[in-house]
Structure 1
Amino acid sequence: MREISAKEVETLIEDGKSLNIIDVREAKEVLVGKIPGAINIPLRLIEFRMHELDKCKEYIMVCRSGGRSGRATQFLEKQGFNVINMSGGMLAWKGKVE
């Protein structure tokens, strides 16, 4: 499983890179703040909503601490998606939130 640090993601955003970020936390968790532009698909719904994702794109998976996003990353990898887990999750995120 590939991983990227929260700082690396923040730097890519600051550099103007267009990222596809999937936040797998529950909706109530996302209400306290998410990475700008991130799409919320709770982990329990990934299997049912993966048809919304494009296998030609790269996705960065995010959760609170990196565990749930790690499970989502492993699941989506097995389905043929290009995914990276953000290690440390939102607990490690120091950038802007919306």
Structure 2
Amino acid sequence: MDITVEELKERLDKGEDLHFYDVREEYEYEEDNLGAKLIPLGELPDHLDELAPLKDEEIIIHCRSGARSGKAAKFLESQGYTNVRNVLGGILAYRQLEEEA
């Protein structure tokens, strides 16, 4: 299931405690991040133990444009995660939303 940048921004602005992950590379994260925990896509399989307690919790994943986070969401779903949400448009859409505000 996907999540829009509008819904994500609203929830971040409210200060909700989210299970929020960024699957971009470290250099991208250092340039610009939304406060999500960084787990680069290629390292995701190595973090399954850490993520295991969240199998039935909502997990929100984003990347630059939504492509890598879509792959990450499919991977987690294949591992039995039941509520993974991909941020449509990624950080690019999020920043565009902020500029329009």
State the TM bucket, normalised to the shorter chain: 0.7 to 0.9
Larger radius of gyration: 2
Q: Determine the C-alpha separation between the residues in 1 that align with 2:93 and 2:5.
A: 6
Please identify, of 50-59 and 78-87, the stretch whose mean Cα deviation from structure 2 is larger: 50-59
SS at match of 1:56: coil
Which residue of structure 2 lines up, in the alignment, with residue 47 of structure 1? 45
| Equivalent AA in structure 1 for residue 78 of structure 2 | K
Pick the structure with more helix per residue: 2
Measure the CA separation in 1 of the matches of 2:48 and 2:91.
22
2:57 corresponds in structure 1 to 57
Q: Give the SS at the match of 1:92.
A: helix
**How many percent identity over aligned positions?**
41
The runs of at least 4 aligned residues of structure 1 exceeding 2 Å deviation read none
Give the SS at the match of 2:10: helix
Please, what is the CA RMSD of the aligned residues? Answer: 1.2
Deviation at 1:51, TM superposition (A): 1.3
- Alignment TM-score, normalising by the size of structure 2: 0.86
Q: CA deviation at 1:65?
A: 0.3
Higher strand share: 1
Q: Number of residue pairs matched?
A: 93
Amino acid at match of 2:80: G
